[in-house]
Amino acid sequence: MRKFGLTLFCLLAFGSPAVAADWVEIVAGRERSVEIDRNSILQSDPGTKVAWGRIVMKNDEVESAGYKSVKALNRYDCGAATFSTIKRVYLDPDQNVIREERIVEPKVIEVTPGSVDERLFREVCQPPTASRLAEIAEQAKAAAEAQVAADDQAAATVAHGDEDNAGDGKSIVPRIVKPLSAAERRAAVAASVAARERAVARRVADGHGGADEAHAPSAGHGTADDGEAANAHAKADTPAGANTRAKADTHAKPESHDAPATHASADGHAAPAPKPRARTIESKPLKPRIVLARAEPKSTHEKSASHAAKNPPSASRPHVSWSYEGPGAPENWASLDPEFATCGSGRRQSPIDINDGIKVDLTPIEFEYRPSYFRIVDNGHTVQVNVGEGSSIRVMRRVYDLKQFHFHRPSEFRIDGRGYDMEMHLVHKDLDGRLAVVSVMLERGTSHPLVQTLWNNLPLERHSSYAPEVAIDPNDMLPTDQRYATFIGSLTTPPCTEGVLWMVMRQPVQLSLDQISIFSRLHPMNARPIQEMAGRLVKMSR
C-alpha cells in the first residue's frame, strides 16, 4: 500500500495522462477565488489523500501579483486534520507555466476551523454521503415549491386589486443555513430546478397555466412566463456548466436586467414595463446557503443619479495626482479625490511618533516567511516588491498573508522622536481583507545582501516591472531582536484607509550608504508627515 501511495503521489506531482480537471469554486473573493480540482482527489496512503487546489487572481490583481493563478498540490491527513503543500505551479493568464516550486521539506499545517483550508479539507476528506445529498435536495425542493406557490398567490392577490396585502412569500420559504460543499450546492440547484419545472408542468396540465398566466397583461405588455424562466434556469445549471457557479440562477433569467424595458402604449408614448419578479438561488462565498428572494431592478433615473453621485463632474478643476510635493502634497490629499477624504478627516491616521506606549508582554509575531520569486516595480511613489504565495504571519490569533513590501525615505514613523534613513513596510492581508503591516526601520551601516539583489534588478523605467529568475527570503529583512510596538492606524498613502494593524519593530536593520543613495536617486522624499495620536493606545514589548 505504501508503494502504491508513493507511486500515485509521483504521478500527481510530476505529470500523468490524468482525466481533465474539474475545478470547483470554494471561495469567491473580491481579489481572488479559491478552487479545487475534484478529479485530482485520490487516495495516497491509508487515511491520506492528495489533491490540486488553486488560487485565481482577479484581472486587476494580475499585474501586481505577476501571475494569473497558482496551483498547489496538497497532501491531506484526513485522520489528523492536517495538510502539507508538496508543489506549487505559477501560471500566466494564458495558462503558461511561469515557474514551479517543489517543496523539499513540506510543513505540516493544522486545519483551522472556519478557514478556507477547512473548506478544502472537507471537499477532499469528507465528501457528502448519499443521505446528505438527498437531504439537501429535499430541502431545496421544498423551498422551490413554496416559492412558486407564494408567487402564484401574490400574483392572484395583485390581480384582484389587493396589492398592499400581497406579501412576498418569504416567510414560508425554508432556508438551508448550514454551509454547503460544492457537491451539496449542485444537488440543491438541481433539485430546485426540477421542482420548479414540475410546478410549471402541473399548471400547464391543469389547463390554466397558473396565476401568472391566468392574469397575464394584454398583447404588447406581456413578460416571459414561468416556463421560459425555468427553462433558462435549467440550461444554466446543466452538469457541464455547474462546476463553478454558486449564483448561476441570477444570470439565467431574462427578467433580471438592471433597467426595465419599455413598451409602446396606446397613445404612442413609452410606458414602463411591469416590474419583473426574479427568483434567485444565491450562495454566499463563506457561508453558502440557498435563499429565495425577489429582485427589484433600479430605474434608469436611479442608476443615473447613483452614477452622478459617485462620479461628480471634474471639469471645473484639472486632475491632480497625489504625490509628496507640490499641488499633490500630503496636506492636499483629502481634497484631490472624494475617496481620499479620510486622509483629512480620519482619527486613526499613520504614521505617528511612538513615544508614549505602555510596556507589556506582547505575544511574539510568528513569522512564517518562505523563499520566493518576486516581481519588482517602481510605481512612481516607491519601489515595491511583490512576492509569491506562501509567506504569512500569525498575530493576535489571525493569519495574514504577505503580499508585498516597499520602501520610504526618510522613515515615516519615529521611535521616541527619532527618525531613520529609510523604512520598509511589509504589507499583509487576511482572507477577510483586513490589513496588517510590519514596519522595519533602516539605518546607515553595512551593506544588505537582499536589498542589493533588489537594486540589481530594478526596472529601467517607472511604472514598469521585472521578475528575475532569482529568489529572495523575506526573513532576511527582519531584525534579530523582534520586539515591537503595535496600534491601530491607517495606510500612509491615499486613500488612507483606517483599521490597519501596525507592528513597528524596535530594532533597525542596516543598509550601506550606497544602497540608500540608490533609492534616494529614485525617490528623494516619499514619507508622509507625522499624524496626531488622537488618544490611541500603543502597546510596546518590554
Catalytic residues: 381
Adjacent-strand bridge partners of 320: none
Q: Is 11 helix (H, G, I), strand (E, B) or coil?
A: helix
First CA to last CA distance, the chain: 53
Phi-psi region of 329 (alpha: psi -120 to 50; beta: other; left: phi over 0): beta
Cα dihedral angle (495, 497, 503, 505), rounded to 10 degrees? 10
* Distinct helix (H) and strand (E) counts, the chain: 13, 28
DSSP state letters, 204-250: HHHTS-HHHHHTPPPTTS----HHHHHHHHHHHTSGGG-SS-SSTHH
Query: DSSP alpha helices (H): ranges in 428-491?
Result: 449-456
* Helical ranges in 426-512 per DSSP H: 449-456
Instruction: Name the nearest CA neighbour of 124 among 8, 42, 195, 189.
Output: 42
Q: What is the DSSP string of 148-179?
A: HHHHHHHHHHHHTT-GGG---SGGG---B-S-
Distance, CA of 136 to CA of 134 (rounded, Å): 5
Q: What values do phi and psi take at 55, rounded to 5? A: -110, 125
Half-sphere exposure for 392 (CA within 13 Å, toward CB) = 13
The C-alpha atoms of residue 152 and residue 168 are separated, in whole angstroms, by 10
Alpha-carbon distance of 269 to 263, in angstroms, equals: 8
**Residue 391: other Cβ atoms inside 10 A:** 21
Secondary structure string (H, E, C) spanning 507-535 = CCEEECHHHHHHHHHHCCCCCCCCCCCCC
Tell me phi and psi for residue 123, to 5 degrees: -60, -35
414: Cβ contacts below 8 Å, ≥ 6 apart: 351, 352, 353, 354, 355, 530
C-alpha distances in Å from residue 170, one per residue of 34, 137, 175, 256: 32, 19, 10, 19
